[in-house]
Amino acid sequence: MREYLIKLVITIIALYILFKITIGSILNTYFSKIEKLTNQNQRVEIKEKILQEMKKGSEKENIFSNEERIIISNFLQKLIDELNIKSN
């Protein structure tokens, strides 16, 4: 019975360590990202970064490249055709 308990304890410890190394580290990264979003200062920093990027984008003469324009135009045309919207 004593051997069984020792093997059981060793197995549980090994499984716990294996869990922490594999899945635990992945969960910790997600928890840290969620924690950043719950922190008021981090949200303010993220908001400021987004506003800075929006300002940079609005200062550019062209937001999209020629290839992006063609892709978006084709996509919007397909949407219009599928919805049967007729423009004046």
pLDDT digits (tens, 9 = 90+) for 41-86: 888 888 999 999 988 888 888 888 899 999 999 999 999 888 876 6
- Token pair of 67 as six digits: 């290839």
| Residue 19 to residue 13: CA distance in whole angstroms | 10
Most confident of 2-6, 23-27, 57-61, 80-84: 2-6
Per-residue pLDDT, 58: 83
Note the helical H segments in the chain: 2-19, 25-38, 40-59, 66-83
DSSP 87: -
pLDDT given for residue 42 in this prediction: 83
Place of tokens 């051997």: 3
**Rounded Cα distance, 21 and 14, in Å:** 11
